[in-house]
Structure 1
Amino acid sequence: MINKTSLDTEQAEILTGLQAEQKFINPKFFYNHRGSKLFEKITQLDEYYPTRTERLILQSRAGAIAKYIDKQSLIVEPGAGSCKKIEYLLEAIHPNIYVPQDVSEEFLKRSAERLSEDYPWLTVSPVVSDFSDPIELPAEVSNLTKYVFYPGSTIGNFEPDDAQHFLSQMRQLVGEAGGMILGVDLHKDNETLHAAYNDKSGVTAEFNLNTLAHINQILGANFKLEAFEHLALYNSQKKRIEMYLKSLESASYEVLGETVSFEKGELIHTEHSYKYTLDGIAELANKSGFKLEQSWLDDDELFSVNYLRAK
């Protein structure tokens, strides 16, 4: 058996997941260059409501959201990526400092440079790290009230206990006077949710299957994409979308000197996305040291943007 300590961190993490009783791949491996392009395509699909619905809420309610933000403020955005969504709020909030955090240094650098050019009055201080790591804020910001901006319902990708832990970290970051602007997808009918993750044009399926292409590159493996299919379903009991890659055949693959075997019909778990009720958001906030102060919804009540105040 190969010594996993001799592998790099990504290889060891993927191999551990593929050898688990319930095989899994961390959803961060969706996002190589092609995966990122496919996700951008997903956000433009008719069936995929979260991105456009959240955007409309941020655009239409920017002034109302700004009323909860102090005039001398610092905004942190974990996992900021392209930094596009903060732009819907910048003019209304007018923070002193914006701190985008992302693991991709070059991507973050380009995004920060673009923002600095478009908003010359704004100090942009990017932080390159994984959003699960503690965020180091710029020196001499004690006079600014601190807020976290966490859109996209990324909180739904956490298990509930992990979501509480993450929000507790954010509560510690913002201190006694700060708060958090949190985008959360809402629990709704199964038909709408199923369509959002099983689009007719098959882009989400392509996105999910691309994960295998990505880990083939990382592991030097030869998983056959045509031997798997995309599967997404809504678990109404747990209020979460579950996404899998389903093996269409029994097969074995050599991966870094070890054998990874699949039974026909076996599943690789690639993502889950919890959906919340407003009561559920309030409960999560309360357990994490926040109080749900205000929620803004679209007309169809598909999505929510929430302001959490530090307790």
Structure 2
Amino acid sequence: MSVSKQVSLNQEQVEILTGLKADQKFINPKYFYNHRGSKLFEKITQLDEYYPTRTERLILESCANDIAQYIDKQSLIIEPGAGSCKKIEYLLEAIHPSVYVPQDVSAEFLKQSAERLSKDYPWLTVSPVVSDFSEPINIPSEFERHTKYVFYPGSTIGNFEPEDAVTFLRQMRQLVGETGGIVLGVDLHKDNETLHAAYNDKKGITAEFNLNTLAHINDILGASFKLDEFEHLALYNSQQQRIEMYLKSLKAARYEVLGETLSFEKGELIHTEHSYKYTIDGIAELASKSGFKLAHSWLDGDELFSVNYLQAD
């Protein structure tokens, strides 16, 4: 008897089970982010080893006026996956857009962020859009006259496979039209030691973050994966220029989940995330394939991270 006849599964449960039954087991990285996962990620961003967040912040703060030179005043800024809407604040005064459209799947979190921004920037129209990251962002018709720009910080673009990154950027190109562009955060290719340390911190916070994914899917599936039967593994694949993150099974085990028996060999890996690192030439190529051109890149002094402006081409 198939699972579908025994148990009525929602789309989320089907997605997770499909990944756990694959030859190379995987969990979508969006399942990092339950309440505890979000808190752990905030801790990660404050770690000495984790350079991306603080480095990008420094670039945005120090280069805000330069970035603003590429963006029309009284424009519309769209931020996919905006979350707390914190990073846009580094640019708001310099750019002074008319409208800010943050998009996120978490309605209550987005509402709170939008209300905070509206209070702190009374001259700014904040129009949140609650939708899944994969869905098109619909701009209210009354804002169509504004020149549109996308703000996509945090090097989230590195979590896409390269061909999927091109697809995403093409969607953003369609969204901003012929006159707009995108401010894009991209982590840069660098030495293995720096990258390894960033994803294997001494305090073990990244390991907790990765392992918490199992706690999250336990809640979603009603499963009983034991976190102490897995360990965090993060390594840099220099050939593909990407960090790969896994959960490694410490023993052979079987788990009963929604009528399915999931078997794990000792040492078997569950892929939870990858993060591609780019060169400036690689970013220019990505832009070109997506209908943009790389107009300018701003880097920190150590060339760890980049903020880039891609102009519609």
What SS class does the counterpart of residue 28 from structure 1 fall into?
A: helix
Residue pairs, 1:60-71, within 5 angstroms: 60-71=62-73
CA distance in 1, matches of 2:132, 2:124: 24
CA distance in 2, matches of 1:49, 1:161: 26
Report the more deviating stretch, 64-73 or 295-304. 64-73
1:155 to 150, 153, 157: 157
Residue 3 (structure 1) shift? 1.2
Residue 143 (structure 1) shift? 2.3
Tell me if the contact between 1:72 and 1:143 (Cα under 8 Å) persists in the aligned partners.
Answer: no
The aligned counterpart of 1:185 is: 187
Report the more deviating stretch, 3-12 or 197-206. 3-12
CA distance in 1, matches of 2:112, 2:188: 32
Tell me if the contact between 2:173 and 2:312 (Cα under 8 Å) persists in the aligned partners.
Answer: yes
The aligned counterpart of 1:142 is: 144
The aligned counterpart of 1:87 is: 89
What SS class does the counterpart of residue 270 from structure 1 fall into?
A: strand
CA distance in 2, matches of 1:95, 1:131: 23
Q: Which runs of 5+ in 1 are unaligned?
A: none
Q: Deviations over 1:249-286 (max 9, x none)?
A: 00000000110000000000000000000000000000
CA distance in 1, matches of 2:263, 2:305: 40
- The count of aligned residue pairs is 311
CA distance in 1, matches of 2:167, 2:68: 26
The aligned counterpart of 1:105 is: 107
The aligned counterpart of 2:177 is: 175
Which amino acid in structure 2 is aligned with residue 264 of structure 1? K
Q: Deviations over 1:90-137 (max 9, x none)?
A: 000000000000000000000000000000000000000112211000
Q: Which runs of 5+ in 2 are unaligned?
A: none
CA distance in 1, matches of 2:140, 2:97: 14
CA distance in 2, matches of 1:142, 1:47: 43
Q: Does 1:72 align with 2:64?
A: no
Residue 141 (structure 1) shift? 2.0
Residue 79 (structure 1) shift? 0.1
Q: Deviations over 1:2-51 (max 9, x none)?
A: 01893111111000000000000000000000000000000000000000
Give the root-mean-square deviation of aligned CA atoms: 0.8
Q: Does 1:263 align with 2:265?
A: yes
Residue pairs, 1:230-245, within 5 angstroms: 230-245=232-247
Q: Deviations over 1:148-194 (max 9, x none)?
A: 00000000000000000000000000000000000000000000000
The aligned counterpart of 1:305 is: 307
The aligned counterpart of 1:46 is: 48
The aligned counterpart of 2:276 is: 274
Which amino acid in structure 2 is aligned with residue 172 of structure 1? Q
Residue 138 (structure 1) shift? 1.6
Tell me if the contact between 1:101 and 1:126 (Cα under 8 Å) persists in the aligned partners.
Answer: yes
Identity of aligned residues (%): 82
The aligned counterpart of 2:4 is: 3
Tell me if the contact between 1:132 and 1:166 (Cα under 8 Å) persists in the aligned partners.
Answer: no
Residue 69 (structure 1) shift? 0.4
What SS class does the counterpart of residue 3 from structure 1 fall into?
A: helix
